[in-house]
């Protein structure tokens, strides 16, 4: 039986290939250091775990949850946005619970895309923006993120006919994979662009709380008029070290939030209520865990940037995310360099072309391991590769 065209068009998911390479190397007895997948290694906060335990013991949480989420959790999300960004949200109509932001990002295209429609997708970027577009029958129009533009899309370079046909625009700052950040002026430009061309903005704010050295990331929702043109995906995964819990929310324009909730009501049964109540405890409680996590990643970033400089790269420390986006040495493609680093150093890095065609020529390092292992990875790279030539 032939698979559906939508499945045949999909590439293998990037991190599935990385996991396979790690498994193959481990089978050969190689001590692999992975600087690949962005999965926090710090534990979830104790008060969140305790809240989960209490909620899991309550049998009222053992039944089907609401597909749009518990109002208590949605109110805590709204309260967080008010405290953190001074953004007012109605928890009943402008917040919907997600089973992780990846689920919401993938499903939003089903709400607006008909076959042949266009979404504006950053490249390089989180693969799910384009994959969700393809699954819904649409076509991604790539917005190149180039170093000379600070890895921000050039909105003026989008052809008029494309902009008028586009349904959704995905943006993501602090950015995966480049580590770039955006300021409110950029978001104001995005709002103006969206209003001019009547499209919906989908801001992925997964790394809004992973910032360093005094930098505080703004929310797209802070820009005047943002709530008129779009939504933002807020995840507890990175700020609270809760990737495995699969809990997040989409906030913003009420009819877009409603559409996402409506499609979810038809394809999933919502997030486990005990997890929502635990997430509520995280949002309502102390944010010391966020500050401590920022300190951990800042230290790791310092170690890695300094080590890469010693190897020959000229890098600035990113202000956000736990990623470093690095040019490959002369004579390599992204994939060739990643293979070489694995073979000669036993270190996993992510080839930039896995994030799109404009990622070719780069690789990504993820700092989700202890800084001593990062030092060991850099030493292995130095021993195996020597001084690099750019």
Q: Are 48 and 282 spatial neighbours (Cβ–Cβ below 8 Å)?
A: yes
Least confident of 31-40, 55-64, 269-278: 31-40
Report strand pairing: 118-123 vs 139-144.
Answer: parallel
**Nearest to 169, CA basis, from 115, 95, 108, 124:** 108
Q: pLDDT band for position 56 (50/70/90)?
A: very high
69 alpha-carbon distance from chain centroid: 21
Residue range 309-337, pLDDT digits in tens:
999 999 999 999 999 999 999 999 999 99
**Nearest to 173, CA basis, from 223, 132, 135:** 223
- Say how far apart CA 155 and CA 23 lie, in whole Å: 41
Backbone φ and ψ for 172, nearest 5 degrees, come out as -155, 105
Domain count for the chain, please give it: 2
- Say how far apart CA 44 and CA 51 lie, in whole Å: 12
- Say how far apart CA 266 and CA 282 lie, in whole Å: 29
Do 114 and 185 share a structural domain? Answer: yes
Do 125 and 238 share a structural domain? Answer: yes
- Domain membership flag for residue 335: yes
Do 12 and 118 share a structural domain? Answer: no
What does each C-alpha distance from 54 to 49, 59, 107, 272, 345 come to in angstroms?
9, 10, 31, 13, 45
Q: Are 173 and 143 spatial neighbours (Cβ–Cβ below 8 Å)?
A: no
Q: Are 137 and 116 spatial neighbours (Cβ–Cβ below 8 Å)?
A: yes
- Domain membership flag for residue 114: yes
Task: Find the radius of gyration of the CA atoms of the chain.
Answer: 21
Do 32 and 54 share a structural domain? Answer: no
Mean pLDDT to the nearest integer, 344-353: 94
* Token duo for residue 164: 């008028």
Please give the helix or strand (H or E) that residue 69 lies within, else none.
Answer: none
Please give the helix or strand (H or E) that residue 346 lies within, else none.
Answer: none
Domain at 363, CATH number: 3.90.1150.10
The three-class DSSP label of residue 327 is strand
Do 201 and 328 share a structural domain? Answer: no
Do 142 and 197 share a structural domain? Answer: yes
Domain at 81, CATH number: 3.40.640.10
Strands (E), 159-216: 166-172, 200-204
* Token duo for residue 114: 């008909």
Residue 213 domain boundaries: 46-284
Residue range 58-96, pLDDT digits in tens:
999 999 999 899 999 999 999 999 999 999 999 999 999
Q: 231 forms bridges with which residues in the sheet?
A: 202, 252
Q: Are 139 and 116 spatial neighbours (Cβ–Cβ below 8 Å)?
A: yes
* Token duo for residue 272: 């486990």
Do 187 and 199 share a structural domain? Answer: yes
- Domain membership flag for residue 356: yes
Do 169 and 133 share a structural domain? Answer: yes
CA angle 96, 211, 222 (to 5 degrees): 45
Q: Work out the mean pLDDT of the chain and round it to a whole number.
A: 95
Q: 249 forms bridges with which residues in the sheet?
A: 97, 234
Q: What angle do helix axes 101-112 and 128-135 make, rounded to 10 degrees?
A: 40
What does each C-alpha distance from 272 to 67, 78, 237, 268 come to in angstroms?
10, 20, 16, 11
Backbone φ and ψ for 174, nearest 5 degrees, come out as -50, 145
- Domain membership flag for residue 105: yes
**Nearest to 209, CA basis, from 189, 251, 237:** 237
**Nearest to 323, CA basis, from 279, 346, 282, 355:** 355
Domain boundary among 284, 302, 318: 284
Q: pLDDT band for position 388 (50/70/90)?
A: confident
Domain boundary among 284, 313, 334: 284
- Res 20 pLDDT > 80: no
Burial-class residue 57 by CB neighbours within 10 Å (0-12, 13-18, 19+): exposed
Q: Are 239 and 293 spatial neighbours (Cβ–Cβ below 8 Å)?
A: yes
Do 153 and 75 share a structural domain? Answer: yes
Residue range 88-144, pLDDT digits in tens:
999 999 999 999 999 999 999 999 999 999 999 999 999 999 999 999 999 999 999
At 14 the pLDDT is: 62
- Domain membership flag for residue 390: no
């Amino acid at each position: 039986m032939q698979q559906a065209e939508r499945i045949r068009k999909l590439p293998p998911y990037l991190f599935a290939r990385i996991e396979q390479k790690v498994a193959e190397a481990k089978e050969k007895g190689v001590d692999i250091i992975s600087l690949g997948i962005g999965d926090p290694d710090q534990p979830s906060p104790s008060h969140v775990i305790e809240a989960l335990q209490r909620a899991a013991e309550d049998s009222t949480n053992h039944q089907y949850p609401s597909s749009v989420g518990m109002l208590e959790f949605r109110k805590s999300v709204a309260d967080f946005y008010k405290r953190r960004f001074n953004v007012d949200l109605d928890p009943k109509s402008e917040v919907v619970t997600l089973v992780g932001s990846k689920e919401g990002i993938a499903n939003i295209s089903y709400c607006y895309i008909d076959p042949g429609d266009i979404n504006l997708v950053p490249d390089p970027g989180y693969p799910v923006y384009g994959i969700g577009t393809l699954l819904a029958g649409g076509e991604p129009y790539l917005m190149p993120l180039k170093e000379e533009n600070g890895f921000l899309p050039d909105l003026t370079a989008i052809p008029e006919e494309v902009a008028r046909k586009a349904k959704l625009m995905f943006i993501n700052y602090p950015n995966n994979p480049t580590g770039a950040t955006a300021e409110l002026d950029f978001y104001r430009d995005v709002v103006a662009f969206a209003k001019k061309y009547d499209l919906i903005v989908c801001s992925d704010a997964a790394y809004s709380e992973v910032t360093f050295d005094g930098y505080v990331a703004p929310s797209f929702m802070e820009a005047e008029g943002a709530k008129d043109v779009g939504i933002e995906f807020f995840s507890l995964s990175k700020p609270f070290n809760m990737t495995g819990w699969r809990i997040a929310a989409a906030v913003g324009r009420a009819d877009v939030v409603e559409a996402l909730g409506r499609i979810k009501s038809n394809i999933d049964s919502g997030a486990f209520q005990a997890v929502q109540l635990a997430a509520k405890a995280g949002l309502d409680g102390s944010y010391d865990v966020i500050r401590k996590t920022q300190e951990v990643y800042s230290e790791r970033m310092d170690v890695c940037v300094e080590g890469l400089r010693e190897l020959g790269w000229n890098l600035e420390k990113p202000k956000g995310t736990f990623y470093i986006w690095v040019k490959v040495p002369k004579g390599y493609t992204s994939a060739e360099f990643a293979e070489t680093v694995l073979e000669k150093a036993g270190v996993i890095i992510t080839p930039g072309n896995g994030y799109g065609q404009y990622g070719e020529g780069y690789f990504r390092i993820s700092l989700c391991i202890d800084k001593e292992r990062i030092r060991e990875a850099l030493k292995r790279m130095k021993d195996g590769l020597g001084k690099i030539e750019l």
